[in-house]
Structure 1
Amino acid sequence: MNWLKKIFSKHTKVQDDRDPNQSNAYDLIGGDKVIRAIANSFYQKMASSEETRALFAIHRAPIAESEQKLYEFLTGWLGGPQLYQQKYGHPALRARHMHFAVDEAMRDQWLFCMKFAIEKHIKKPEHRAAIYEAISTLADHMRNQ
Protein backbone atom coordinates (compact mmCIF):
# COMPACT_ATOMS: atom_id res chain seq x y z
CA MET A 1 0.00 0.00 0.00
CA ASN A 2 2.97 2.34 0.47
CA TRP A 3 3.31 2.91 -3.28
CA LEU A 4 -0.28 4.14 -3.46
CA LYS A 5 0.29 6.47 -0.54
CA LYS A 6 3.41 7.91 -2.18
CA ILE A 7 1.61 8.54 -5.45
CA PHE A 8 -1.67 9.85 -4.14
CA SER A 9 -0.91 11.46 -0.76
CA LYS A 10 0.58 14.61 -2.22
CA HIS A 11 -2.65 15.65 -3.88
CA THR A 12 -5.40 15.59 -1.27
CA LYS A 13 -5.86 14.89 2.40
CA VAL A 14 -7.68 11.83 3.66
CA GLN A 15 -11.10 12.80 4.91
CA ASP A 16 -13.29 11.54 7.80
CA ASP A 17 -12.11 8.85 10.20
CA ARG A 18 -9.92 6.94 7.77
CA ASP A 19 -6.33 5.99 8.53
CA PRO A 20 -4.18 9.03 7.58
CA ASN A 21 -1.27 6.67 6.80
CA GLN A 22 -3.21 4.98 4.03
CA SER A 23 -3.45 6.01 0.40
CA ASN A 24 -6.12 8.50 -0.56
CA ALA A 25 -6.47 7.15 -4.08
CA TYR A 26 -10.10 6.52 -3.17
CA ASP A 27 -10.82 10.26 -3.09
CA LEU A 28 -8.70 11.14 -6.11
CA ILE A 29 -10.36 8.67 -8.46
CA GLY A 30 -13.89 9.66 -7.46
CA GLY A 31 -14.71 7.76 -4.29
CA ASP A 32 -17.72 5.52 -3.83
CA LYS A 33 -19.31 6.14 -7.20
CA VAL A 34 -16.18 5.15 -9.14
CA ILE A 35 -15.40 2.13 -6.96
CA ARG A 36 -18.96 0.84 -7.41
CA ALA A 37 -18.68 1.33 -11.16
CA ILE A 38 -15.35 -0.51 -11.28
CA ALA A 39 -16.77 -3.49 -9.37
CA ASN A 40 -19.85 -3.56 -11.60
CA SER A 41 -17.88 -3.31 -14.85
CA PHE A 42 -15.43 -5.95 -13.63
CA TYR A 43 -18.19 -8.53 -13.20
CA GLN A 44 -20.05 -7.48 -16.35
CA LYS A 45 -16.86 -8.02 -18.32
CA MET A 46 -16.26 -11.37 -16.65
CA ALA A 47 -19.80 -12.55 -17.39
CA SER A 48 -19.79 -11.43 -21.00
CA SER A 49 -16.30 -12.30 -22.26
CA GLU A 50 -15.37 -15.54 -23.91
CA GLU A 51 -11.83 -15.05 -22.57
CA THR A 52 -13.03 -15.23 -18.96
CA ARG A 53 -15.43 -18.16 -19.13
CA ALA A 54 -13.32 -20.31 -16.76
CA LEU A 55 -13.01 -17.49 -14.23
CA PHE A 56 -16.73 -16.76 -14.30
CA ALA A 57 -17.52 -20.46 -13.84
CA ILE A 58 -15.84 -20.59 -10.41
CA HIS A 59 -17.90 -17.71 -9.01
CA ARG A 60 -20.91 -18.64 -6.93
CA ALA A 61 -24.31 -17.25 -7.70
CA PRO A 62 -25.59 -14.70 -7.04
CA ILE A 63 -22.76 -12.76 -8.65
CA ALA A 64 -24.04 -9.58 -6.97
CA GLU A 65 -22.59 -10.88 -3.69
CA SER A 66 -19.12 -11.20 -5.24
CA GLU A 67 -19.49 -7.75 -6.79
CA GLN A 68 -20.39 -6.26 -3.41
CA LYS A 69 -17.38 -7.89 -1.75
CA LEU A 70 -15.06 -6.58 -4.48
CA TYR A 71 -16.52 -3.10 -4.03
CA GLU A 72 -16.02 -3.28 -0.25
CA PHE A 73 -12.47 -4.58 -0.59
CA LEU A 74 -11.43 -2.00 -3.20
CA THR A 75 -12.96 0.81 -1.13
CA GLY A 76 -10.66 0.08 1.80
CA TRP A 77 -7.67 -0.97 -0.30
CA LEU A 78 -7.71 2.37 -2.08
CA GLY A 79 -7.94 4.37 1.13
CA GLY A 80 -11.67 4.70 1.68
CA PRO A 81 -13.74 3.36 4.54
CA GLN A 82 -12.74 -0.15 5.61
CA LEU A 83 -16.07 -1.71 4.64
CA TYR A 84 -14.71 -5.19 3.98
CA GLN A 85 -12.81 -5.38 7.26
CA GLN A 86 -15.80 -4.13 9.23
CA LYS A 87 -17.94 -6.97 7.85
CA TYR A 88 -15.51 -9.86 7.43
CA GLY A 89 -12.31 -9.00 9.29
CA HIS A 90 -8.87 -8.84 7.69
CA PRO A 91 -9.12 -9.62 3.97
CA ALA A 92 -6.52 -12.43 4.09
CA LEU A 93 -7.12 -12.71 0.35
CA ARG A 94 -4.70 -15.52 -0.37
CA ALA A 95 -6.19 -17.69 2.38
CA ARG A 96 -9.74 -16.91 1.27
CA HIS A 97 -8.91 -17.98 -2.28
CA MET A 98 -6.88 -21.13 -1.50
CA HIS A 99 -9.78 -23.44 -2.35
CA PHE A 100 -9.66 -22.12 -5.92
CA ALA A 101 -6.96 -23.19 -8.35
CA VAL A 102 -5.42 -19.82 -9.17
CA ASP A 103 -2.81 -20.25 -11.87
CA GLU A 104 -1.38 -17.78 -14.38
CA ALA A 105 -4.37 -18.20 -16.67
CA MET A 106 -6.86 -17.40 -13.90
CA ARG A 107 -4.75 -14.46 -12.77
CA ASP A 108 -4.62 -13.15 -16.33
CA GLN A 109 -8.38 -13.53 -16.78
CA TRP A 110 -8.97 -11.62 -13.54
CA LEU A 111 -6.56 -8.87 -14.60
CA PHE A 112 -8.22 -8.68 -18.02
CA CYS A 113 -11.50 -7.77 -16.32
CA MET A 114 -9.87 -5.42 -13.84
CA LYS A 115 -7.92 -3.59 -16.51
CA PHE A 116 -11.11 -3.10 -18.49
CA ALA A 117 -12.92 -1.68 -15.44
CA ILE A 118 -10.03 0.57 -14.40
CA GLU A 119 -9.59 1.98 -17.89
CA LYS A 120 -13.31 2.59 -18.21
CA HIS A 121 -13.79 4.46 -14.93
CA ILE A 122 -10.53 6.07 -13.80
CA LYS A 123 -9.91 9.27 -15.71
CA LYS A 124 -6.24 10.09 -15.18
CA PRO A 125 -3.73 7.83 -16.94
CA GLU A 126 -1.22 8.06 -14.09
CA HIS A 127 -3.88 6.91 -11.61
CA ARG A 128 -4.91 4.04 -13.88
CA ALA A 129 -1.28 2.96 -14.27
CA ALA A 130 -0.49 3.11 -10.55
CA ILE A 131 -3.58 1.21 -9.51
CA TYR A 132 -3.20 -1.39 -12.23
CA GLU A 133 0.43 -1.97 -11.28
CA ALA A 134 -0.52 -2.52 -7.64
CA ILE A 135 -3.51 -4.71 -8.40
CA SER A 136 -1.33 -6.77 -10.75
CA THR A 137 1.11 -7.42 -7.91
CA LEU A 138 -1.77 -8.41 -5.67
CA ALA A 139 -3.25 -10.71 -8.34
CA ASP A 140 0.10 -12.39 -8.86
CA HIS A 141 0.36 -12.98 -5.11
CA MET A 142 -2.95 -14.87 -5.27
CA ARG A 143 -1.50 -17.61 -7.49
CA ASN A 144 -1.41 -20.97 -5.75
CA GLN A 145 -0.74 -23.23 -8.72
Structure 2
Amino acid sequence: MNWLKKIFSKHTPPQDDRDPSQSNAYDLIGGEKVIRAITKCFYQKMASSAETTTLLAIHRAPIAESEQKLFEFLSGWLGGPQLYQQKYGHPALRARHMHVDIDEAMRDQWLFCMKFAIEENIKKPEHRAAIFEAISTLADHMRNQ
Protein backbone atom coordinates (compact mmCIF):
# COMPACT_ATOMS: atom_id res chain seq x y z
CA MET A 1 0.00 0.00 0.00
CA ASN A 2 2.99 2.35 0.05
CA TRP A 3 2.04 3.84 -3.33
CA LEU A 4 -1.35 5.04 -2.07
CA LYS A 5 -0.19 5.78 1.44
CA LYS A 6 2.07 8.56 0.12
CA ILE A 7 -0.99 10.47 -1.09
CA PHE A 8 -3.59 9.44 1.45
CA SER A 9 -1.74 9.00 4.78
CA LYS A 10 -1.59 12.69 5.62
CA HIS A 11 -5.17 12.56 6.79
CA THR A 12 -6.84 11.19 9.91
CA PRO A 13 -6.60 7.39 10.05
CA PRO A 14 -9.77 5.29 10.07
CA GLN A 15 -11.56 4.92 13.39
CA ASP A 16 -12.10 1.15 13.41
CA ASP A 17 -10.17 -2.11 13.46
CA ARG A 18 -8.41 -1.56 10.12
CA ASP A 19 -4.64 -1.81 9.85
CA PRO A 20 -3.26 1.70 10.54
CA SER A 21 -0.30 1.02 8.22
CA GLN A 22 -2.71 0.82 5.26
CA SER A 23 -3.67 3.75 3.08
CA ASN A 24 -6.87 5.48 4.11
CA ALA A 25 -7.84 6.24 0.51
CA TYR A 26 -11.03 4.29 1.18
CA ASP A 27 -12.32 6.96 3.57
CA LEU A 28 -11.04 9.95 1.63
CA ILE A 29 -12.75 8.99 -1.61
CA GLY A 30 -16.08 8.25 0.07
CA GLY A 31 -15.89 4.75 1.52
CA GLU A 32 -18.28 1.94 0.71
CA LYS A 33 -20.68 4.10 -1.31
CA VAL A 34 -17.98 5.22 -3.76
CA ILE A 35 -16.32 1.79 -4.00
CA ARG A 36 -19.71 0.25 -4.85
CA ALA A 37 -20.29 2.96 -7.46
CA ILE A 38 -16.87 2.32 -9.00
CA THR A 39 -17.47 -1.42 -9.29
CA LYS A 40 -20.97 -0.98 -10.71
CA CYS A 41 -19.72 1.58 -13.24
CA PHE A 42 -16.77 -0.67 -14.14
CA TYR A 43 -19.01 -3.61 -15.06
CA GLN A 44 -21.55 -1.40 -16.83
CA LYS A 45 -18.76 0.00 -18.98
CA MET A 46 -17.46 -3.50 -19.68
CA ALA A 47 -20.93 -4.71 -20.71
CA SER A 48 -21.68 -1.73 -22.92
CA SER A 49 -18.41 -1.08 -24.76
CA ALA A 50 -17.48 -2.64 -28.07
CA GLU A 51 -13.82 -2.27 -27.00
CA THR A 52 -14.26 -4.74 -24.12
CA THR A 53 -16.07 -7.72 -25.62
CA THR A 54 -13.07 -10.01 -25.06
CA LEU A 55 -12.86 -8.98 -21.42
CA LEU A 56 -16.59 -9.43 -20.91
CA ALA A 57 -16.46 -12.90 -22.47
CA ILE A 58 -14.11 -14.24 -19.79
CA HIS A 59 -16.42 -13.25 -16.93
CA ARG A 60 -18.70 -15.98 -15.73
CA ALA A 61 -22.36 -15.26 -15.17
CA PRO A 62 -23.81 -13.90 -13.06
CA ILE A 63 -21.73 -10.77 -13.42
CA ALA A 64 -23.05 -9.61 -10.03
CA GLU A 65 -20.75 -12.15 -8.37
CA SER A 66 -17.69 -10.67 -10.12
CA GLU A 67 -18.88 -7.18 -9.21
CA GLN A 68 -19.18 -8.14 -5.54
CA LYS A 69 -15.71 -9.71 -5.49
CA LEU A 70 -14.18 -6.61 -7.08
CA PHE A 71 -15.95 -4.43 -4.51
CA GLU A 72 -14.61 -6.61 -1.68
CA PHE A 73 -11.10 -6.54 -3.10
CA LEU A 74 -11.07 -2.77 -3.70
CA SER A 75 -12.39 -2.17 -0.19
CA GLY A 76 -9.30 -3.71 1.38
CA TRP A 77 -6.87 -2.61 -1.31
CA LEU A 78 -7.84 1.02 -0.70
CA GLY A 79 -7.44 0.69 3.06
CA GLY A 80 -11.02 -0.14 4.04
CA PRO A 81 -12.43 -3.31 5.55
CA GLN A 82 -10.61 -6.44 4.32
CA LEU A 83 -13.81 -8.02 3.01
CA TYR A 84 -12.20 -10.13 0.29
CA GLN A 85 -9.54 -11.51 2.59
CA GLN A 86 -12.11 -12.34 5.28
CA LYS A 87 -14.13 -14.43 2.79
CA TYR A 88 -11.51 -15.94 0.51
CA GLY A 89 -8.11 -15.50 2.15
CA HIS A 90 -5.20 -13.59 0.70
CA PRO A 91 -6.15 -12.19 -2.72
CA ALA A 92 -3.15 -13.75 -4.53
CA LEU A 93 -4.57 -12.10 -7.64
CA ARG A 94 -2.06 -13.37 -10.15
CA ALA A 95 -2.51 -16.97 -9.03
CA ARG A 96 -6.31 -16.63 -9.02
CA HIS A 97 -6.25 -15.35 -12.61
CA MET A 98 -3.72 -17.80 -14.11
CA HIS A 99 -6.51 -19.73 -15.84
CA VAL A 100 -7.13 -16.62 -17.98
CA ASP A 101 -4.78 -15.47 -20.73
CA ILE A 102 -3.99 -11.90 -19.77
CA ASP A 103 -1.96 -10.05 -22.38
CA GLU A 104 -1.49 -6.33 -22.99
CA ALA A 105 -4.79 -6.08 -24.86
CA MET A 106 -6.73 -7.73 -22.01
CA ARG A 107 -4.97 -5.52 -19.46
CA ASP A 108 -5.80 -2.45 -21.53
CA GLN A 109 -9.49 -3.41 -21.77
CA TRP A 110 -9.62 -3.83 -17.99
CA LEU A 111 -7.88 -0.48 -17.45
CA PHE A 112 -10.21 1.20 -19.94
CA CYS A 113 -13.18 0.23 -17.77
CA MET A 114 -11.44 1.04 -14.50
CA LYS A 115 -10.25 4.45 -15.67
CA PHE A 116 -13.79 5.32 -16.73
CA ALA A 117 -15.20 4.15 -13.37
CA ILE A 118 -12.58 6.06 -11.38
CA GLU A 119 -13.10 9.25 -13.36
CA GLU A 120 -16.86 9.03 -12.97
CA ASN A 121 -16.86 8.37 -9.23
CA ILE A 122 -13.83 9.93 -7.52
CA LYS A 123 -14.09 13.70 -7.10
CA LYS A 124 -10.53 14.93 -6.54
CA PRO A 125 -8.17 14.77 -9.53
CA GLU A 126 -5.15 13.95 -7.35
CA HIS A 127 -7.03 10.98 -5.83
CA ARG A 128 -8.08 9.75 -9.28
CA ALA A 129 -4.50 10.01 -10.54
CA ALA A 130 -2.94 8.24 -7.54
CA ILE A 131 -5.43 5.39 -7.60
CA PHE A 132 -5.27 4.94 -11.36
CA GLU A 133 -1.46 4.89 -11.29
CA ALA A 134 -1.46 2.25 -8.55
CA ILE A 135 -4.12 0.11 -10.18
CA SER A 136 -2.30 0.34 -13.53
CA THR A 137 0.79 -1.15 -11.90
CA LEU A 138 -1.35 -3.91 -10.42
CA ALA A 139 -3.03 -4.59 -13.76
CA ASP A 140 0.31 -4.81 -15.51
CA HIS A 141 1.51 -7.31 -12.90
CA MET A 142 -1.48 -9.53 -13.79
CA ARG A 143 -0.23 -10.11 -17.35
CA ASN A 144 0.75 -13.74 -17.91
CA GLN A 145 1.13 -13.69 -21.70
Which runs of no fewer than 5 residues in structure 2 stay unpaired? Answer: none
Q: Does 1:34 align with 2:29?
A: no
Alignment of 1:83-98 (within 5 A): 83-98=83-98
What is the CA distance between 1:12 and its match in structure 2? Answer: 2.2
| SS of residue paired to 1:108 | helix
| SS of residue paired to 1:10 | coil
Q: Which residue of 1 aligns with 2:12?
A: 12
Alignment deviations for residues 39-60 of structure 1 (CA, whole Å, 9 cap, x no partner): 0000000000000000000000
Alignment of 1:42-53 (within 5 A): 42-53=42-53
- Computed over aligned residues only, the root mean square deviation of the Cα atoms, in angstroms, reads 0.5
Alignment deviations for residues 87-141 of structure 1 (CA, whole Å, 9 cap, x no partner): 0000000000000000000000000000000000000000000000000000000
Q: Partner amino acid for 1:138?
A: L
TM (norm. structure 2) is: 0.99
Alignment of 1:1-145 (within 5 A): 1-145=1-145
What is the CA distance between 1:14 and its match in structure 2? Answer: 1.9
| SS of residue paired to 2:18 | coil
- Does structure 2 retain, via aligned residues, the 8 Å contact 1:12–1:28? no
Identity %: 87
How far, CA to CA, are the matches of 1:139 and 1:100 in structure 2? 13
| SS of residue paired to 1:61 | coil
How far, CA to CA, are the matches of 1:29 and 1:64 in structure 2? 23
Displaced runs of 4+ in structure 1, greater than 6 A?
A: none
TM (norm. structure 1) is: 0.99
